[in-house]
Amino acid sequence: MIQFAWPWAFLLLPLPYLIYRLFPKAEQLEDSALWVPSLQPFAIAKTGSAAPPKKRWQLFIVILCWVLLITSSARPQWLGQPVELPISGRDLMLAVDLSGSMQVEDFEIAGDNVDRLTALKAVATTFIERRQGDRLGLILFGDKPYIQVPLTFDHVTVVQLLDEAVIGLAGKATAIGDAIGLAIKRLKKQPDNQKVLILLTDGANTAGAITPEKAADLAKQVGLKIYTIGIGSDSLEVGSFIFKRTVNPSADLDETMLKYLAQTTGGQYFRAHDTKELVQIYRQLDDMEPVEKEKKVYRPISPLYFWPLGLALIISCGLFVSRIVRRW
């Protein structure tokens, strides 16, 4: 259907007629020096023939141009068919640890050993692509936290910038408390039931100006729910070809602190020993933070003002050219 954005513009349609009726004609404003019964003799004397009568079709064209201009000014628009858009109404921040310990190769993808960050990227990409209708943001933290991507519906950009993240980009230490504080700053103005932080780390808080416990208390006050994920296997063989020993690469993982963060804010703590468990954790997050089924109706709008405007311009140019040709 067609609608007008500014329908009040049609009130200007009678404006030329009102000006014609209310204001004196131009010849009435001039002082007459001589009264004569007709001007035809002067026209004959000047041109040698009588002036042609005014044609009614010219008046009709002028009125038509005015109507087209007013119609264009009213901003006609074409409303398309209603389109239902799924909206979840949630804001999700991903806080990813880029400290030096994330380079430990204790994960496996397609039979190849990979470091923790590479495995995280592979699994998180699928999770991000499934968050239809959610706004996502990305925080990278090491010595300090940084907003890599502010809250956005552009999931492609989030995936791209996460894939470009490298270990040590934000420093070698781990500022978990500061990362939570930055997430609070970005999400505190959103409704309580729409703020979620997913924190992924493989260590303990070793840097920053605020402790994780204090950050958890602040997050609870603003209604920020934190899901924590501890990354890293419990055993890894290291050494040469002959002599090998088994070590615990996750010895520095502070699970007590991560559990406290989740419990205090109403979230949950997960432990990812390998890639398979990491995939399962993201599937559980899909179930706990589902995409809501509420839909908003959107009707695409296409402007049509240029059609009457272009037609008025063509008619005006044709009328102007005809007058020039006639005079010539």
Residue 176 shares a structural domain with residue 114: yes
Q: Which of 205, 198, 203, 201 is nearest to 224 (CA)?
A: 198
pLDDT in tens, 60-87: 888 899 999 999 999 999 888 877 665 6
Residue 52 shares a structural domain with residue 193: no
Is 233 in contact with 247 (CB distance < 8 Å)? no
Give the pLDDT of residue 182.
92
65-102: b or e for each residue (b if 16 or more CB lie within 10 Å)? bbebbbbbbbebbeeeeeeeeeebebbbbbbbbbbebb
Residue 149 shares a structural domain with residue 252: yes
Residue 65 shares a structural domain with residue 92: no
Give the pLDDT of residue 51.
43
Say how many Å lie between the first and final Cα of the chain, rounded: 47
Residue 48 has pLDDT above 50, yes or no: no
Domain count of the chain? 2
Q: Residue 179: pLDDT band by 50, 70, 90 thresholds?
A: very high
Quick check: is 133 in a domain?
yes
Residue 164 shares a structural domain with residue 75: no
Residue 101 shares a structural domain with residue 74: no
Quick check: is 32 in a domain?
no
Domain interval for residue 177 = 86-294
Give the pLDDT of residue 217.
92
Alpha-carbon distance 275 to 33, whole Å?
103
Residue 76 shares a structural domain with residue 133: no
**Which ranges in the chain belong to alpha helices (H)?**
15-22, 40-47, 56-73, 116-129, 155-164, 176-187, 212-222, 255-265, 275-288, 306-327
Residue 56 shares a structural domain with residue 97: no
| Stated length of the chain | 328
Rounded to two decimals, the pTM is: 0.60
Quick check: is 30 in a domain?
no
pLDDT in tens, 202-241: 878 888 888 989 999 999 988 888 998 888 776 555 555 5
Residue 153 shares a structural domain with residue 281: yes
- Look up the CATH number of the domain holding residue 257: 3.40.50.410
Residue 65 shares a structural domain with residue 164: no
